[in-house]
Structure 1
Amino acid sequence: MSNTFSAVVVDDEPYSRDELTYLLDQYEEIEIIGEAESGEKGLAMILKKEPDVVFIDIEMPQMSGMELAQALKNMNKRPFIIFATAYPDYAAKAFRVQAIDYLLKPFDEDQLDETVVVIKDRLLGEKADEKTSPIPRLAVETDGRITYLSPNDISYLFREEKETVICTKDKQYHVKTSIKDLEIKLNGYSFFRTHKSYLVNLDKVEELIPWFNGAYQVKMEGGKEEIPVSRNYVKGLREQLEL
């Protein structure tokens, strides 16, 4: 899988469809390969073109967005589903049909940023699953010296301006490597993206604390910091943490 992904937008409202495609066009990693003004046309297009992700309006005549999502469940290459709607009351139903995110109209660019991160993380996860053996040590270069860290000793990582900060129980390491690249290297260990700027070791999570607007914070073992959990990641995080 490449670093880009293909997308189809399905919405019966021309203005909303045009607005969303315009916003998505600003992302170099997204290739819009089709638009449809109804659920029926969207289904035919998705079956033919097999996009990586589909953005679907919920309230559409004849075939609704929910019905379209149900119809996609039997695809061999089922795309990731993002609902885009003016109605917040559908959120619970959206996740029951395995949507990975839920965008509210009018579209908020910050929320769309987070949605794109969620998509990339899911696609990255599929790619990472193809790898077989995790790295035994993470090589960290700081001040001209290379330190070899056991991934199990890392509590969390976060992006700060142009650096990534790797936090263990006793020390912080500042590196130029991106969060995305470190996430790939740490595949095979219990790391989870809680926010576009944070990656946490699930084995070190002590508490999950409600915050506001559906977002949470996590408290790590032996630390005082409360790390943000974007609402886009809460469902996946709870699935990973809870039996």
Structure 2
Amino acid sequence: MINIGICDDEASMRRLLRAPLEQKLQLLGADYRIFEYDCGETLLTRPETEWLDILFLDIEMKQLSGMETAKNLRKRDSHTLLIFVTAYPDFVFQGYEVHAFHYILKPYENQKIMKVLEQAIKELGQNREHYFTLEQKSGTTKIPAKKILAFSSDRRKIIISLEDGNKLEFYGKLDAVETDLPDYFIRCHNRHLVNLNYVTALEKDGCTLRSQSFPVSRAYRQSVEIAFARLLLQ
């Protein structure tokens, strides 16, 4: 799923930008969501801002400027790809302050929009951090996969063990979780998926991740040993 934001205080400009974006995304067969914002203040208060992959951000807005909005995003350690949109080329050179990925000039040219979007999607594929999305009644949480030690199944519940020692729970099936994880997660038991990057000891019937121990069943022992050995050789 690619999450894209469009922030522009003119609704007509948002529509003109959204149309070619959707056209290109559909041609690529991509799963996507597009969020629209009418000002920087709104953008910075919305919860989904935390996981926007790409943001098309107008530089000249009536209240908080696009540049100030971008600076606020970067203070949050946001890794969103920023693409500035502006009618004034001179503003483009300020983009290096906030590590802007690209820019698009107004009036829009659909081919330019599509080309920049394709470049951004390619960049995401190369540098994108893996996240596990946890849906709960309280809302949606995106957890960096690299901060997860293991997933464990307990009847209908899945328990997430985090690197900081905390645990999270949700209802689900381990098989479904496994399909959405990077390849450094491996099944070591019918009830456990572990992050190989945290394995500090591997024994005949168990493995240790930090201070936690997880069983390794006979059915998965060989695949775990091979995966662990491959990781050590990298």
Q: TM-score, normalised by structure 2?
A: 0.49
